[in-house]
Amino acid sequence: MTITDCQLYLISPLDVGGDFPDRLVAALDAGAVAAFQFRVKGLDQHEAARLAEPLQAICAARDVAFIVNDDVALAKRLGADGVHLGQGDGDPKEARRILGPESQIGVTCHASRHLAMEAGEAGADYVAFGAFFPTTTKTVEHRADPEILEWWQGMFELPCVAIGGITVDNARILVDAGADFLAVSGGVWAYPEGPAAAVRAFGALLADQPAG
């Protein structure tokens, strides 16, 4: 994940079985995706790894970073490109020790400037702010304002990710505020015309952004 103009960061639905690998292929082949986060809940590590491996291969073949949500041990087992940590999911320094210097480590910082600065000091590779909009993907306890993206960009070089209820229709304000990545789940997987059409629509939106 490199610091360039705003890019798309896909987050998986909770159900990645069935035809989901085909849907992921369609989404990634539509372009504009920098990273994919594998996010499943309530599975043992063996089952999670079984589901993750074909998706990881799809990402690797397309030079898309494969990030594991919450689970440092699973990221280590898979040799994933990185891990995304919630506030209760462990210390970035410990994740770095386990996963190595090349791993991409992201940290959820909600709407907190303090948590974001702490994450940066702990060696995170990116910080994630949100939720910016209502979302059905998870229970929202924190709502962020786009102004926090402007503040972060004015103070720090570390990339910031915007997350939470982002769709093609509401993303522009976050791009303009300075998000380096848009983390999107339902806005792609539940898009009426399908995930490939959603990624193309996001791609058109991001291509129209001002030069960084």
Pull the structure tokens for residue 121.
Answer: 């000091």
- CATH H-level, domain 7-207: superfamily: Aldolase class I (3.20.20.70)
Do 75 and 82 form a contact (C-beta atoms < 8 A)? yes
Q: Which residues pair with 38 in a beta bridge?
A: 68
Say what the pLDDT of residue 2 is: 44
Kindly list the distances between the CA atom of residue 91 and the CA atoms of 107, 119, 121, 193, in Å, as whole numbers in the listed order. 9, 9, 11, 40
Rounded Cα distance, 136 and 151, in Å: 27
Q: Tell me the CB-side half-sphere exposure of residue 160, using CA atoms within 13 A.
A: 29
Rounded Cα distance, 204 and 206, in Å: 6
Please give the average pLDDT of every successive group of 10 residues along the chain, which has 212 residues.
77 97 98 96 96 98 98 98 94 96 97 97 97 80 92 97 97 97 98 98 90 49
Say what the pLDDT of residue 57 is: 98
- For residue 18, count other CB atoms closer than 10 A to its CB: 8
